[in-house]
Structure 1
Amino acid sequence: MNQKSNSAKIVTSIAIILSSVGLTYARLPGWQQTLVIVSGSELQEPLQKLEAKFNQANPNIKLELKFQGSQELVNNYIDDQNDFKPAVLIPANGEILTELSNRLQATNNAEPFYDSPQPIAKTMLVGIAWPERGQALFVNGRFQWQRIEQAMTSGSWEKIGGKKDWGSFDFITTDPTRSNSGQLTLNLWSQSKIGTNLNSASLNDPSVRSLFSLIKKSVYQPPRSTDILLQEFIAKGANDADVATVYESIALYRWQQSQTNQNQSYQIYYLDPSIETTATAVIVRRDVNPSTANAARKFIDFLIQPEQQAVLVQYGFRPVNNAVDIKTVPNSPWNQNIPGAEVKPNINTLQPSNHQINTEIQRLWERAN
């Protein structure tokens, strides 16, 4: 056999081998790519509702939804504490992603995200109270941090103008080391206490440290996420849960549930000022290949389209897509006469604090006793 014939056989053999490898790794009909999404718990129900619609439009992409407190979400990712590999993170506050980026780049000096973070939906921190309790506490009908502090200090409703049989005053907020809404609560309460914007120096004012100590002693085992908090608030009812701080979105969405479970609905109080917080999605690079990143882009783009934004409005969120009007969306909670709900509340709305302030809030909370 001549050398030319041998060379031809070798080429043919290599071609057969490469062809076999290609068939082995080809994406056969029915193949699905799994996309792990980790979101703050406030988006749990709307994302679960949208999951089937996304899968129908993208049958080759299987969503795997996970839900954690927003600060917990970041901490678990940085410390690699999950038993799964996230492709998309959606905390309640885009500033938390700035913290994540800074912390990751400090350890490996590499860009942690595929693309710029993408806003998904907006909401703000509000107060809620059972009607009689709210009327007794906020005599002018406006939420006041000072009145909550007075109630905490006195310990009982009777001492602040409530009824004796209401017992102790019970305020609930989330754990600020795990949840964004807990951080927002301590942020706004501290600003009210010292009468100025926060920085590292003002947060270490003795009056703020004293406030953190009072709150920590008064709030027993704060929930890890805002939605868990509100479900507990509704289940316990007055006498065990009187006043709480939650997202407007969840307060609107679960309002009917409070009416059903307690035969009364809570009142919503807009804080002035309040902090607007934007649930923001990002595609992470660690353990995520370009193909998975492309699938993630489809999912994020899906969420910001008008039809999906309308679903988020039905769950109490304010849209990031300006083509969507919260008043004209079918079943919009702003059309349901929910006590205290306002389309355009007359309040000052602040931007979320940077990650340095949030980190300092967590540190002060952990040290408070």
Structure 2
Amino acid sequence: MNSRALIIIGLIAAVGGVLYLSRDSGDAGRAVSGQERGPSKPVKYPEVTEISFLYSTEKEAWIEEAAIAFQKENPSIQVRLMGQGSLDAAQAILDGREKPTVWSPADSAVLKLLESDWATEPSRGPLFAREGEDAPRPLVMTPLVFVVWEDRARVLLKANEGKSISWKVIHKAVASDQGWPAIGGQADWGFVKLGHTDPTRSNSGLQAMLLATLEYYNKRTGLTVGDLLDPKYQEWIRQLEKGVTRLEASSGTFMTDMIRFGPAKYDIAVVYENLAISRIANAQERWGNLKVYYPPVTLWSDHPAAVLQGEWVTPQQKAAARQWLAYLRSQKVQERALAFGFRPADSAVHIKTQDASNPFTRLAEHGIQVDVPPAAEVPEGAVVRNLLTMWSRVVGNR
């Protein structure tokens, strides 16, 4: 037998001895304890309840930050975030393509629209609770505003006797074939270029049409389906929409293009106040000053949130959803909403603070106001549905 074979045999013997001694020491340990070790018990982890939160994308940054903090404090609840435009989300729920635990559109108009459409099949039962913790309640607030280049704004204000920038004065400027000179503007400004989103796809566009309609009728409440059938009103809307050269699905697109291309693209944009707050500082020193103006009557995007009453929501999910919504409405999370340009739904949280970064004081020179004009009442779902139908008939197929 050669030396190489002897070495291999020696190694095998050494390993075997180690294994034998290890087994004996283990047996000895069990003998000392006087117990035989049984099979190990499985580790029990806490049960996790998953809920889905379908929300309008305008509040994405605030929601995502809050969700991270909530998960740390509540590891037994998993929140699945789903951002989607309010009108698209409403249609998806109606069609059964989305079955969220909690839904939060941008405003109550869309919520009422879905509630009305859902009720056409009574066998499904109500989608929203009428009262209690699960009923729709606001999360944050933001009004609709005009964002206008300051030199254009001066002309609009003068044409309206210095009162405010209104839908009627915008209509006067847009409807004229003379463009800006029709109300005292410069000829080289060309035609008046108005920007708002597609009312059939975006909540801010729907709100824009609601506000223009309310101003046409000098109403803050009581808008009816009959109002929408008036041919004179329909022609007024058609003329107003002549100034809208492109319909987008997102308000953010208008603000981005307005800042990037200046007044060559848009003279006036209709957007949410929180969006104006987040972008307006970027516009200064590029094409002149961009300022925020509040219409004579506004509408609140109140971002209601409701635990849905659909058969797909379990009692455990309802309980978890209530915890999530209570967290979003807590004082610390409501205070954080200010940094994202939202007004807290909790009236106990002050909008004006000593914080130098507070946009409601920092951006006052750009037109941001703490006090806003009176808000109109959101009409019933049937009125909203007919408004969208009217707009599609009169404007949508141009």
TM range (shorter): 0.7 to 0.9
Segment drifting more, 99-108 vs 289-298: 99-108
Choose which of 215, 224, 234 in structure 2 pairs with 1:192: 215
Aligned partners of 2:138 and 2:267: how far apart in 1? 33
Q: Which amino acid aligns with 1:182?
A: G
Q: Which amino acid aligns with 1:340?
A: G
**Contact residue 175 and residue 240 of structure 2 kept, 8 A:** no
Structure 2: gaps of 5 or more residues: 1-41
Q: What TM-score do you get using the length of structure 2 for normalisation?
A: 0.78
Choose which of 252, 257, 275 in structure 1 pairs with 2:299: 275
Counterpart residue number, 1:161: 184
Q: Which amino acid aligns with 2:195?
A: I
Deviations 1:89-125 (A, max 9, x none): 1112124323323332331341324621121112212
Secondary structure of the 2:52 match is strand
Rg larger in structure: 2
Q: Does 1:368 align with 2:394?
A: yes
What is the Cα deviation at residue 240 of structure 1? Answer: 0.3
- The change in CA–CA distance for 1:154 and 1:293 in structure 2 (over 3 A counts) is same
Aligned partners of 2:185 and 2:143: how far apart in 1? 29
Counterpart residue number, 2:193: 170
**Contact residue 113 and residue 384 of structure 2 kept, 8 A:** no
Q: What TM-score do you get using the length of structure 1 for normalisation?
A: 0.83
Aligned partners of 1:27 and 1:138: how far apart in 2? 68
Aligned partners of 2:254 and 2:80: how far apart in 1? 24
- The change in CA–CA distance for 1:112 and 1:133 in structure 2 (over 3 A counts) is same
- The change in CA–CA distance for 1:102 and 1:194 in structure 2 (over 3 A counts) is closer
**Contact residue 154 and residue 160 of structure 1 kept, 8 A:** no
Identical positions, percent: 26
- The change in CA–CA distance for 1:70 and 1:265 in structure 2 (over 3 A counts) is farther
Counterpart residue number, 1:79: 95
Secondary structure of the 1:326 match is coil
Choose which of 340, 350, 361 in structure 1 pairs with 2:367: 340
What is the Cα deviation at residue 27 of structure 1? Answer: 7.0
What is the Cα deviation at residue 141 of structure 1? Answer: 5.9
**Contact residue 195 and residue 246 of structure 2 kept, 8 A:** no
Where do 1:200-349 residues align within 5 Å? 200-259=225-284, 262=286, 264-286=288-310, 287-328=312-353, 330=355, 331-338=357-364, 339-345=366-372, 347-349=373-375
Secondary structure of the 2:54 match is strand
Q: Which amino acid aligns with 1:143?
A: I
Aligned partners of 1:311 and 1:302: how far apart in 2? 12
What is the Cα deviation at residue 300 of structure 1? Answer: 0.7
What is the Cα deviation at residue 129 of structure 1? Answer: 0.3
User: How many residue pairs align between the two structures?
Assistant: 340
What is the Cα deviation at residue 170 of structure 1? Answer: 0.9
Q: Which amino acid aligns with 1:181?
A: S
Secondary structure of the 1:238 match is helix
Deviations 1:245-301 (A, max 9, x none): 1222222232223338x3654211111122223110011243222222222211111
**Contact residue 127 and residue 269 of structure 1 kept, 8 A:** yes
Q: Which amino acid aligns with 1:271?
A: P
Choose which of 136, 146, 151 in structure 2 pairs with 1:132: 151
Secondary structure of the 1:123 match is strand
Segment drifting more, 102-111 vs 35-44: 102-111
Secondary structure of the 1:66 match is strand
**Contact residue 40 and residue 92 of structure 1 kept, 8 A:** yes
Deviations 1:159-190 (A, max 9, x none): 43223332332101121112222222112212
Aligned partners of 2:296 and 2:253: how far apart in 1? 25
Counterpart residue number, 1:99: 113
Q: Which amino acid aligns with 1:283?
A: V
**Contact residue 310 and residue 329 of structure 1 kept, 8 A:** no
Q: Which amino acid aligns with 1:344?
A: D
Choose which of 123, 134, 137 in structure 2 pairs with 1:118: 137
Segment drifting more, 249-258 vs 228-237: 228-237
